[in-house]
Structures are given as C-alpha cells and as structure tokens.
C-alpha cells in the first residue's frame, strides 16, 4: 500500500475512535405544564363568604316579617301597705347590741360573797383606757400602736381575792369598722398561752374559738412565791373576754371553766 493509502486508513481509524469515546446524549423527559395554585382555595373562601352574607340577609328578612314583641310595662302595680302595729322593739335583755353599747361594767361577773378587793386596783373605776391596757403586754409601745390600728374602743375590768385564789376579768371592746380585731386578738392570745410548756386546754361551750387553759407548771418571778395560773380567752361580736386566775396551789379545770361559761352567758 502506498504512503497515501496508509494516511487515509489512519484518518478513518482515528475518526472512529473519537466517535466511540463521545457518549450519546440522554434525551430530557418531557415537562408537564405548570399548574395554577390557589384557585381551589379561592373558590372555597368565596363560597363561604357568599353563604354567610346570604344567611344574614335571610335572617333580617325573616325578622322583619315577624310581629314586634310587646315589652312589659315599666310601671308596676301598687302594693297595698299592711295595717296594724309593727313588731315591738327588742328589749335590752334580748338585743345584744343595746347591752354591749351600754355600761360594759354591768356585764362583768359580780364579786362572789366572801371575796375581797385585791391589793391592786385594775384600771380606774372599772375602766382601762388605751394606755393602761397596752401596759399589760410585754412590749407596751408596740402594743399601743397595734391597738390604735385595731380600733380599740374601751375595756371594763374587775378583780377579787378569795384568799386561795385571785381572779381578774377583762372585757375588751373594739370598734371593728374596718377589720375584725376581736377574733384576731383572741387567736393571738390563745396561741401564745397554748405555747407554754405543760399546759392543758379545753374549748368553751357555745363559743367558736373560746378556750380555757390551765398551766400545770408554776410560774416564777423574782421576789414572789411560785404561783399557778389558768386563763380563759374568747370573743363574742366585738368584745374579747380574758379571765386570769392565779393561786399558790394548782388550779383545776372546773374553776376556770365555770367562770368562763358564766361570763359568756352575760354577753
């Protein structure tokens, strides 16, 4: 083969190799036409709005065809006033407010037969003013402010000595125009007394929170013989009851309970 023929054969072989090296193009899949979005939602919203408008219009038309409901008359029939006398006012014995607004000292238990006055006089002519009553507390200055805020009104007091025992009774009254101080004062005194060691307590019949307490352990103060103490704490309405019994001998429950029950009956 001549050199020219060899050159032709080589060109043909090179063209075939180039064709074999190039990959055949992959045909692209046919694209679906884009779908319009939101058309269905728009149709649903439009139908809902039209339904609401149609329902409202129908309601107005139905109501307009109805006969108006007649309203009841503003004036009411006149009631005939009963004739005859009204109930009689309560007596002082029946109306507790009349009794407690009067002389509070008259509600205190009377001194028993054979008893004598104590060596010390509680209050002035049976009354304790705000300053005197604050002195019975351990911290008079603080108590004075609390009593003023608690609307302290007055306190009646009595005391006697039977020889074996000394008894003091206080009736403390609060105005109670803004707060229920009587119940709060009763709770504070009861919790304090009940916190003392070796103390027995019993509820006072006929009261909500009334309590009598007997301290079985004698109290000791410098310059005095050890003494036993019992007390009663209760309230009724705006009045706080406090009874103190002291003795050189142990005090039984019956003594303090009897005083508490009889005093509460007078309130």
Q: How far apart are the C-alpha atoms of 233 and 186, rounded to whole Å?
A: 6
Q: How far apart are the C-alpha atoms of 217 and 221, rounded to whole Å?
A: 13
In tens, the pLDDT along 39-83 reads: 676 667 777 777 777 777 777 666 766 777 777 777 777 777 777
Pick from 171, 175, 160, 173: which is nearest to 105 by CA?
Answer: 171
* Sites in the chain below the pLDDT cut of 70: 1-39, 41-43, 60-62, 64-65, 86, 89-99, 179, 189-195
pTM for this one? Answer: 0.63
What is the pLDDT at residue 192? 66
| Kind plus residue range of the DSSP H or E element containing 265 | helix 253-265
Q: In DSSP terms, which residues pair with 160 in a beta bridge?
A: 167
């Amino acid at each position: 083969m001549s050199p020219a023929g060899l050159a032709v054969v080589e060109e043909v072989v090179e063209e075939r190799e180039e064709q074999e090296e190039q990959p055949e193009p992959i045909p692209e899949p046919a694209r679906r036409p884009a779908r319009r979005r939101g058309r269905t939602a728009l149709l649903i919203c439009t139908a809902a709005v039209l339904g609401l408008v149609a329902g409202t219009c129908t309601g107005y038309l139905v109501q307009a065809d109805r006969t108006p409901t007649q309203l009841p008359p503003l004036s009411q029939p006149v009631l005939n006033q009963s004739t005859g006398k009204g109930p009689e006012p309560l007596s002082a014995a029946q109306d507790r407010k009349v009794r407690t607004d009067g002389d509070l000292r008259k509600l205190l238990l009377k001194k028993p037969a054979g008893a004598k006055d104590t060596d010390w006089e509680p209050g002035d002519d049976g009354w304790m003013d705000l300053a005197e009553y604050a002195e019975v507390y351990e911290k008079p200055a603080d108590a004075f402010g609390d009593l003023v805020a608690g609307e302290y009104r007055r306190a009646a007091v009595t005391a006697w000595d039977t020889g074996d025992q000394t008894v003091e009774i206080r009736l403390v009254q609060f105005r109670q125009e803004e707060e229920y101080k009587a119940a709060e004062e009763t709770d504070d005194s009861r919790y304090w007394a009940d916190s003392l060691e070796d103390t027995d307590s019993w509820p006072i019949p006929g009261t909500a929170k009334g309590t009598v307490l007997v301290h079985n352990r004698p109290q000791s103060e410098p310059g005095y013989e050890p003494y036993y103490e019992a007390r009663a704490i209760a309230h009724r309405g705006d009045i706080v009851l406090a009874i103190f019994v002291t003795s050189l001998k142990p005090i039984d429950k019956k003594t303090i309970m009897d005083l508490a029950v009889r005093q509460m009956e007078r309130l």
